Structure 1
């Protein structure tokens, strides 16, 4: 087990890579996005992100971010989830993570650390998984469309224009998104907008500006879509 404290002041990104160990992320400020071949996860303050060993991924932070990463060797005795996920962190889990980090630096006994890690694994299994995952299409052309919308959530191109830009018919684009993400193209685009907006919500921008950057001309509509996705308004999410 090892821990890493990270702090980036601006845009930060990694190349595609994988680790021999599992990774547990938690933040005190900002947002970090973890992307795998099939999905994208957003880790925010108040959550913990778990990513198993050998998972091919890349990470990027759209702005300033501070947090910790705990690297855990695969072990059958530590009951961490078999799949990646983002979980709402309660006060006990956050204190437990702090104790694990401190104990690792103080060279505590391995038995003590193993016990803390086991407790952490059991606690994470009880946490609520948060709706911070966005499934990505596998088809290369549909993935190009998805990447375009994730890079530019305020994109003004309509579905027909996006399909033509990447050599697809509107019908094929709709079919690929439905089959490979479980959402219609319009539903997926709406979810991508609201997930992308988290970076500006957490940066403290006015909600009207966040809505505009996310491609919403109606602030009330943006707030309602955000509430449907996360169970909170943007203001409540930031204050959490």
Structure 2
């Protein structure tokens, strides 16, 4: 599976706010979607916060500050007004909830993107609210919403494929090329020559702007790409080769050290909430 192209990491700065009908009585509106492989929802923002939750396939959410790869039963919280884009990797089933944080004060402190694990109860509540939308009988929604808000506000953080993006144009160029070719093993010295900066400058900027070294950033890129490819059924040996590892055992060792499980076991854990 080839990585989808990332040439347009810079959002169009004409904010496209998509209207969602929330109000004080219904501060959460839920929807359910199916996306085809390759679907791309271009840069946009909402006046409400948005929870994007995947139940099948892999989705990738982009903001100007980072990229998040969502395996099944993981959800990303996108605060109000944050420009974002969504990519479907394979066929994706997703649920989404729009939250008016002014009417749901427990979420006002959620001002940064965050990934949470969705359990069976929260999953069922999202479905219940989604299928009840538009019903004349609002009793189900009225009963479900308080519990949905409680479950979401207490959802535990997920070990996610988060990839921070730098602002510096030279680093941005390096990152965009590595996103297109994650198997690239060129040293930071080689990249410095290409973008017109010393290796020392690039190394400092990587730590300052992403919190990671160049090597750590590239490893994190390969990790999130590996999760996406494995979730689509690509064999471990093929993923190892595609991502530039010398052997499947070297790839498996990195995967286990970072995520605490072998690739096969990690995927089994993702098969149910």
Q: TM-score, normalised by structure 2?
A: 0.79
Aligned-residue offset at 1:210: 1.2
CA contact (8 A) 1:41 1:134 kept: yes
CA contact (8 A) 2:255 2:261 kept: yes
Corresponding residue to 2:41 among 1, 6, 14 = 14
CA contact (8 A) 1:78 1:117 kept: no
**In 2: Cα distance, 1:78 partner to 1:60 partner:** 30
**In 2: Cα distance, 1:88 partner to 1:141 partner:** 35
| Number of the residue aligned with 2:9 | none
Corresponding residue to 1:37 among 42, 56, 64 = 64
Please give the secondary structure, in 1, of the residue aligned with 2:145: helix
CA contact (8 A) 2:46 2:81 kept: yes
Aligned-residue offset at 1:180: 0.9
| Number of the residue aligned with 2:76 | 49
| Number of the residue aligned with 1:75 | 102
Aligned-residue offset at 1:227: 2.1
1:125 and 2:180 are equivalent in the alignment: no
Aligned-residue offset at 1:204: 1.0
Aligned-residue offset at 1:28: 2.2
CA contact (8 A) 2:116 2:157 kept: yes
Give aligned pairs, total. Answer: 239
Please give the secondary structure, in 2, of the residue aligned with 1:179: helix
| Number of the residue aligned with 1:60 | 87
Gaps of at least 5 residues in structure 1 are: none
| Number of the residue aligned with 1:140 | 169
Task: Pick which of 134-143 and 60-69 moved more.
Answer: 60-69
Please give the secondary structure, in 1, of the residue aligned with 2:61: strand
CA contact (8 A) 2:165 2:172 kept: yes
Aligned-residue offset at 1:107: 4.3
Over the aligned positions, Cα root-mean-square deviation in angstroms equals 2.1
Aligned-residue offset at 1:138: 1.6
| Number of the residue aligned with 1:184 | 213
Corresponding residue to 2:245 among 216, 220, 226 = 216
CA contact (8 A) 2:69 2:228 kept: no
Gaps of at least 5 residues in structure 2 are: 1-21, 23-28
Task: Pick which of 198-207 and 149-158 moved more.
Answer: 149-158
**In 1: Cα distance, 2:189 partner to 2:64 partner:** 25
Task: Pick which of 78-87 and 42-51 moved more.
Answer: 78-87
Deviations 1:85-105 (A, max 9, x none): 111112221122122212225
**In 2: Cα distance, 1:156 partner to 1:61 partner:** 27
**In 1: Cα distance, 2:89 partner to 2:180 partner:** 10
| Number of the residue aligned with 1:195 | 224
**In 2: Cα distance, 1:121 partner to 1:229 partner:** 31
Aligned-residue offset at 1:64: 2.4
